[in-house]
Amino acid sequence: MRGFTLISVGSRYYGEWAYNIARSLRFFLPDCLIQVIYEKDAVSKIDMGIFDIKTEVKTEHCRRNGFLSPGFLKLNLYEYIPKEWEACLYLDVDGLCVSNPIDLLNMDIDYGIQTNGTTTEGSGVYSGMQWMELAKMRNAFGLEKNDPIPGTNSSIQFIKVCEYTEQIFIDALCNYFLFESKMSRKDLLLKWGRKKINQQLPDELFLNSVLAKRKDYSIGQPIYFNLKSSPNFVGEEEVRKNYKFIGLFGNESFMSKGIKNMYKSELVAMGMKQDLDKLIKNKFVNFN
């Protein structure tokens, strides 16, 4: 068996995000299996019947040093895959499915993640991965000069239950703990979390650090993101034709009007209506 895995922790608005994307998955795959990893408060206002498997999160995975820590939870994802599943397609909940994703769910690979590219540069900043300066990252995690550092987006990950994939998460967690013990958030180029409580470490940094030693992990870019700083929105039909999902990256200051309008129109097509602006305003994790 295979299915989709979602996370709903933090505020109740993440329950609404999770419900919306689950509805969109069922729009295309009515009989698909959907798991939600949740905190009780986050899902208290939604109909949990839309999920087939409901897995309450361990507090030590979603709360770190007293703060909500979605990045740390995502590095522990492998532990939460249902025992009876052979694989899952993990999705961040701040997006929607816009075309049939069955080919992604049925991939014959061990692990896959959306990837913007790689670089073998030894210093400077790679535009596809701006969490840390390249020389500092290579030194911190013991990467060789020819190891291609990827720029991943962990909003979508294909995770097969196997030793190879389990080791990816083990190694990424080891690098997370290494960073905590020897470095600080001052070593990051980008800060992740609300300004007043910037306590986040990005899971993508640590996944990038271990994938640099591996191959065949890229699944291209099945999620369409459109930022205000990006080229113009390509149009809803083009997005549906060329992508499987849309994602609402960051907070209000990052998202284009086109991507927000498409999210709203997709909800309407499913017979739903929601205050998207309120959902966006209450996203916990934002870029500073």
> Is 191 inside a domain boundary?
yes
Under the banding of pLDDT at 50, 70 and 90, the label for residue 288 is: very low
> Is 288 inside a domain boundary?
no
- Tell me the C-alpha to C-alpha distance, in Å, between residue 100 and each of 22, 30, 167, 180, 195: 13, 11, 30, 40, 37
pLDDT surpasses 70 at 198: no
> Is 203 inside a domain boundary?
yes
Q: Tokens in use for 211?
A: 């994938």
DSSP state of 126: B
Q: Name the domain count of the chain.
A: 1
- 233-265 confidence digits (pLDDT tens): 999 999 999 999 999 987 777 889 999 999 999
Q: Tokens in use for 251?
A: 């907070």
> Is 122 inside a domain boundary?
yes
pLDDT surpasses 80 at 152: yes
End-to-end CA distance of the chain: 40
Average model confidence (pLDDT) across the chain: 92
Mean pLDDT of 92-120: 97
> Is 242 inside a domain boundary?
no
Instruction: Provide the residue range defining the domain that includes 215.
Output: 2-225
Under the banding of pLDDT at 50, 70 and 90, the label for residue 287 is: very low
DSSP-based three-state secondary structure for 36: strand
Q: Read off the CATH number of the domain in which 153 is found.
A: 3.90.550.10
Rama region for 125: left / alpha / beta (φ>0; ψ in -120 to 50; rest): beta
> Is 40 inside a domain boundary?
yes
- 105-118 confidence digits (pLDDT tens): 999 999 999 999 99
